[in-house]
Amino acid sequence: MPNADFVTGLKCRLCGKLYPKSPINFCTDDFGPLEVDYDYARMRLALSREKITKRPRGMWRYRELLPLDGDPTVGPQVGGTPLIRADRLADALGVEQLWIKNDAVNFPTLSFKDRVVSVALSKAREFGMRTVGCASTGNLANSVAAQAAQAGLETIILVPADLERAKIFGTAVYGAKVIGVTGTYDEVNRLCTQIALKYGWGFVNVNLRPFYAEGSKSMGFEIAEDLGWRFPQHVVCPMAGGALIGKIHKAFTELNTVGLVDTPVTTKMWGAQAAGCNPISDCVKSGRERHKPVRKPNTICKSLAIGDPADGYFAARLMRESGGWAEDVTDDEIIEGMLLLARTEGVFGETAGGTTVAVTRKLLDQGRIPRDEEIVICITGNGLKTQDAVFDAIEEPAEIKPSLMEFEALAGLAGEPALA
């Protein structure tokens, strides 16, 4: 991919100090987060809608806007998930125009994390790393394990020991070394920072984080392209670390900056959390500048259970500045949200999806999101991984003998005249 690298380096989001491209995630002066910096003027000349649409569907059709030196070597088929016109859910929620960005069917591990991992592991290879890892609430673990297996990288994955069985199993099956840590996600995360600093391994959400997080932008690029190269009025997004909501908005801004979408971004960004772990929504609602960390998250929505979100400050600021807001919902509301999504649109989203649907409903009921404007809901993971959460809410199937009489009795058809 000659001359397709538009990355100028890494830039501190607090002080603006520039760093060369390297596996580092924080500014050495003030410890602020580093973000990838691009030469947009040069990119603008190299990009066109025609060029992008000729490429295969998937996140790498936007390769100029993603931070690799060369072609992706890990996960070249990731992304390109459907944007579904959700009319039945729209009716149920009482809104006019509703879309679902369905990353529950992302490839290869059924969550939006496949996007960030494709970037991070391709980058790890560019840096010559042989061992990669992550701290994870589950989806990231699945994706790192699967994609590292494809890439032939050694993996070390640390997760809270009390994670859903399906998520631990769905990591170990790929041959990854999985370590359950008896503690919260934030404790796992802190341990990973210590390991990454000491051993220099490629932890995707520690020292590879600036590159990794950029992968989430592809969800925003796809939403805009699938809407016909325009931006929706509202995006509702689940928040764990708080990076995704920022990256979707950044994606829209970049599409405008490089001339792929002419209209400026006026999209209002709305964030969804669980009541049992709501540091970012609490920050927005209470008017605090910085979030108050949650020591012991307590929710069925484990994929969003980050008590001390690294991007909490930026996510809260974005929601306020874009004209959006944040809300959080109870575990019961999360289950209702999962069932509503499944029963209106045939999409089985995980608990984070239920959270996002339930928060959308709450924000509509509060009158914050207008019912006559276009809304996109981001579904970021698959319900098959969090079946335990809804198990008790689903009616057990009836059981009968293989007899027509028993079937008719059960279905209330007894006594109907035979047709033949």
Partner 1 sequence: MAIQVQIPTPMREQAGGKAEVTVNGVTVQAALADLLRQFPALGPKLFDNGRLRPYVNVFVNDEDIRYLDEMNTPLSDGQTLALIPAVAGG
| 22 near partner 1, rule: CB under 8 A | no
Task: Report the residue from 126, 187, 406, 408 that binds partner 1 according to the rule CB under 8 A.
Answer: 187
**Shorter beta-carbon distance to partner 1: residue 25 or 299:** 25
Smallest gap from Cβ 266 to partner 1, in A, equals: 26
Query: Residue 97 and residue 274: Cα distance in Å, rounded?
Result: 25
Smallest gap from Cβ 407 to partner 1, in A, equals: 50
- At a CB cut-off of 8 Å and minimum separation 6, what does 245 contact? 235, 237, 239, 269, 271, 315, 318, 319
**Segment 27-46, which members bind partner 1 (CB under 8 A)?**
28-34
Query: CB of 264 within 8 A of CB of 256?
Result: yes
**Shorter beta-carbon distance to partner 1: residue 114 or 311:** 311
Closest CA relative to residue 135, chosen from 87, 86, 188: 188
Distances in Å between the alpha carbon of 149 and those of 133, 175, 203, 381?
Answer: 12, 7, 15, 21
In this structure, what are the phi and psi dihedrals at residue 152, rounded to the nearest 5 degrees? 70, 35
Smallest gap from Cβ 378 to partner 1, in A, equals: 15
Task: Report the residue from 78, 129, 261, 306 that binds partner 1 according to the rule CB under 8 A.
Answer: 306
Smallest gap from Cβ 82 to partner 1, in A, equals: 25
| 310 near partner 1, rule: CB under 8 A | yes
**Shorter beta-carbon distance to partner 1: residue 306 or 342:** 306
Strands 7-12 and 34-38: antiparallel
Residues in contact with partner 1, counted by CB under 8 A, come to a total of 39
Task: Report the residue from 47, 104, 148, 192 that binds partner 1 according to the rule CB under 8 A.
Answer: 192
Smallest gap from Cβ 106 to partner 1, in A, equals: 17
Closest CA relative to residue 114, chosen from 165, 64, 68, 58: 58
Amino acid identity, residue 219? M
**Shorter beta-carbon distance to partner 1: residue 185 or 231:** 185
- At a CB cut-off of 8 Å and minimum separation 6, what does 417 contact? none
Task: Report the residue from 293, 384, 393, 400 that binds partner 1 according to the rule CB under 8 A.
Answer: 293
**SS3 at position 155:** strand
Smallest gap from Cβ 373 to partner 1, in A, equals: 29
Amino acid identity, residue 167? K
- What's the 3-state SS for 172-208? HCCCCEEEEECCCHHHHHHHHHHHHHHHCCEECCCCC
Span interacting with partner 1, options 22-30, 85-93, 102-110, 164-172, rule CB under 8 A: 22-30
**Shorter beta-carbon distance to partner 1: residue 147 or 189:** 189
**SS3 at position 37:** strand
Query: Residue 27 and residue 12: Cα distance in Å, rounded?
Result: 6
**Segment 196-215, which members bind partner 1 (CB under 8 A)?**
196-197, 203, 205-206, 209, 213
**Segment 104-133, which members bind partner 1 (CB under 8 A)?**
none
Closest CA relative to residue 350, chosen from 305, 386, 299: 386
- At a CB cut-off of 8 Å and minimum separation 6, what does 38 contact? 6, 7, 8, 65, 67, 254
Span interacting with partner 1, options 59-67, 79-87, 179-187, 260-268, rule CB under 8 A: 179-187
Query: Residue 301 and residue 359: Cα distance in Å, rounded?
Result: 13
| 175 near partner 1, rule: CB under 8 A | no
Query: Residue 384 and residue 397: Cα distance in Å, rounded?
Result: 18
Task: Report the residue from 143, 189, 267, 351 that binds partner 1 according to the rule CB under 8 A.
Answer: 189
- At a CB cut-off of 8 Å and minimum separation 6, what does 420 contact? none
Smallest gap from Cβ 217 to partner 1, in A, equals: 15
Task: Report the residue from 26, 99, 231, 348 that binds partner 1 according to the rule CB under 8 A.
Answer: 26
**Shorter beta-carbon distance to partner 1: residue 49 or 290:** 290
Span interacting with partner 1, options 21-29, 251-259, 331-339, 411-419, rule CB under 8 A: 21-29
**Segment 152-171, which members bind partner 1 (CB under 8 A)?**
none
**Segment 221-260, which members bind partner 1 (CB under 8 A)?**
240-243
Provide the binding-site residues for partner 1, judged by CB under 8 A. 14, 25-26, 28-34, 135, 185-187, 189-190, 192-194, 196-197, 203, 205-206, 209, 213, 240-243, 290, 293, 295, 306, 308-311, 313
